[in-house]
Amino acid sequence: MSSFTQPLVITPDTQGRYRTERPFSFDIGLKGSGLTVTIPAGFVTDLASVPRWLWWLFAPYDPQYAAAAVLHDYLRSWSEFDPLTAHTIFLDALLILGVERWKAMAMFVAVVMFDAARR
């Protein structure tokens, strides 16, 4: 099973964004698989990009899924990284963090649809 290998430590800025204070990693597939994504210290994210009218259901800064949101933003920052793979890893991370399946699936579908609309 995939896993985060360090806790997420972030600090908010005055622009509504967050900066990672130290690196943290996510092992894809199995812990110790050798397929590891490491988000560096100083990476800037807005956490989950959620329309304001949905904040009552999907708070953009919810600590339960903040690490998955940062991971997804980092994966999407690589222009050569396949978007569907990034979205699928995001779904995996949400489920590992204990996000309810219906909520994780809704978030997955939202990022896939948002990405498709941008093309």
The per-residue pLDDT for range 18-41, each reduced to its tens digit, is 999 999 999 998 766 778 899 999
Residue with tokens 């329309």: 51
pTM, entire model:
0.89
Identify the pLDDT of residue 50: 77
Give the tens place of pLDDT for each residue, 42-91: 999 999 887 778 888 888 788 999 999 999 999 999 877 789 999 999 99
> In terms of C-beta density within 10 A (0-12 exposed, 13-18 middle, 19 or more buried), how is residue 88 classed?
middle
Pairwise CA distance, residues 27 & 42, whole Å: 20
Q: Write phi, then psi, for 82 (nearest 5 degrees).
A: -65, 120
Under the banding of pLDDT at 50, 70 and 90, the label for residue 11 is very high
